[in-house]
Amino acid sequence: MADTRELLASNLHRVFGNRDARSRQEAIEETYTDDVVFDDPEGSVTGRDAVGAKAAALLDGAPADFVFAEDGLVYTGPNSGALAWTFGPSGSPVARGIDVIMVRDGRIAALRTLLSE
């Protein structure tokens, strides 16, 4: 069973930062509950397939040199956590945000992504 810190890292790197569809799908199965709810500025989706589609669309629309990187401290509490990140060419991010998660039974049950302005 993964801890909150591991789930935050998996969400960022193994799912949203992973351009290999097969290993990304394996990570999705391990990281999220079946009924995961994902909220971002574009709206809300429910379920593992929907999260996978969001990750694929993001990566398919980004240049090959765009990567996610952790940006600061990791915050954890009982059944919750937060992680700031950057996205763009290494060392020159074009986007910054923070992911806030709620954990149930060792998996992410809710994910909210906030973007910097």
Task: List per-residue pLDDT tens for the chain, 117 residues long.
Answer: 689 999 999 999 999 999 999 999 999 999 999 999 999 999 999 999 999 999 999 999 999 999 999 999 999 998 999 999 999 999 999 999 999 999 999 999 999 999 998
Q: Any idea of the CA torsion for 50, 20, 98, 65, to the nearest 10 degrees?
A: -130
pLDDT, position 2: 82
CATH number for 111: 3.10.450.50
pLDDT of residue 107: 98
Reported pTM:
0.95
Closest CA to 16 of 49, 47, 57: 57
- Largest separation between any pair of C-alpha atoms in the chain: 37
Residue 17 has a pLDDT of 97
Q: What is the pLDDT of residue 1?
A: 61
pLDDT for position 117: 81
What is the domain extent for residue 97? 4-115
CA 5 to chain centre: 12
The domain total for the chain is 1
